[in-house]
Amino acid sequence: MSKIAIITGASSGIGRSLSIDLAEIGYRVVLVSRSDKKLQAVSNKILEKGGECLTISADISIPNEIKKIKKEASSFGDVSLVVNNAGVGKFDKIEDITLDDWNFQIDVNLRGSFLISQAFIPNMKKIKRGTLVFINSVAGKQAYPYSSVYVSTKHALRGLADSMREELRKDNIKVISIYPGAVNTPFWNDTGTNFPMEEMLKVENVSKSIVNAIEAPDNCTVEEMLI
């Protein structure tokens, strides 16, 4: 049976590494990101290793873009794995956070994950199998200063995943929340922070841990993983 996965934020960081790792174990992967150029680089890497992939340049915070993703991904086959990885962060004093800062992080981190999951759940129910993965953050478990909006989105994402898990359990759909600490990825480039990157988690190690959780056999589910 063909295994098809869709990964958002697939052009860099955890999404890029996950896309390559999943393709290596036999998944046909659908790569989603706003950057077509970066997606092509990931696609080339997968194809070089003998994998199969499809790239879709889209913004998951826009409902009409979700329709495009669903249509193109469904032409690839039955998607049984959705990895909600796309995420953004801006860190500043609460009084300096603008409404645009708030809306941008809510739209990508929370609304985008909700919309992309909602789009593929009906077919998962139809084929009686599926896995939804939410790449959250330690900020979904604990609050941090200068992170009020980011922390809000990640706590909300935790609630969304927890509720989906209880609702979809009977449909043989697994819901996995991943809570990584700081990972050495390009995520930090535009956040206005100056954290020591060399002390962060290696993206390759985080990716392999997530793949192990996804590949848990039969009715065994790693519902949460704190890395």
Under 8 Å between Cβ of 162 and 118: no
Sequence-separated contacts (24+) of 169-174 with Cβ below 8 Å: 171/124, 171/125, 171/128, 171/130, 172/128, 172/129, 172/130, 172/219, 173/121, 173/124, 173/125, 173/129, 173/130, 173/131, 173/132, 174/130, 174/131, 174/132, 174/216, 174/221, 174/223
Which position among 144, 146, 150, 179 bears the catalytic label? 150
Q: For residue 192, how many other CB atoms are within 10 A of its CB?
A: 11
**Does the annotation count 150 as an active-site position?**
yes
Place of tokens 């896309």: 19
Cα–Cα dist 200/156, whole Å? 24
Fill in the amino acid letter for 148.
Answer: S
Place of tokens 């890395």: 227
| Pairing relationship of beta strands 130-135 and 79-84 according to DSSP bridges | parallel
Active site residues: 150
